Amino acid sequence: MRLRKVGLIYVFQCTYGERQVASAAELWWHGYAAECERSFCSPCEYGVERCWWTFDDEKAWKLVQYAAPKAKARLEQMHRLKLNAAACEREISSWGDGTPLP
């Protein structure tokens, strides 16, 4: 199993027996480009076939243990930003009425 970043999407490739991992992470399946019926398709645009994919960093984060170095770095960065934003939000809400100061 391997998760990689291709353009703007995350691509997860696995065997048929491992497909439940991708399904549990809520990724979408993309078959052969020749059989694709979408007018615009990101996997087709990036030339990837027979893979699971997503745009969503949070869905891809569920598979970070399978990530290639480039994808893992991106996911870790996004996760840190999300944690920092949540910490800032908690701090702002603890100021009293929750109204941020100018």
Per cent of the chain over pLDDT 90 is 59
Higher pLDDT, 51 or 85: 51
pLDDT for position 3 = 96
101 has a pLDDT exceeding 70: no
pLDDT for position 36 = 82
pLDDT for position 43 = 87
pTM score over 0.85: no
Copy the structure tokens of residue 65. 């243990």
- Report yes or no: 12 and 32 within 8 Å, Cβ to Cβ: no
- Report yes or no: 44 and 36 within 8 Å, Cβ to Cβ: yes
Per cent of the chain over pLDDT 70 is 89
**What is the C-alpha separation between 75 and 71, in angstroms, rounded?**
6
- Report yes or no: 15 and 66 within 8 Å, Cβ to Cβ: no
Copy the structure tokens of residue 97. 């009425």
**What is the C-alpha separation between 57 and 81, in angstroms, rounded?**
12
**Side chain identity at 29, as an amino acid letter?**
W
Higher pLDDT, 31 or 89: 31
Task: Summarize pLDDT for 4-34 with one digit per residue, the tens.
Answer: 999 999 999 999 999 999 999 999 999 888 8
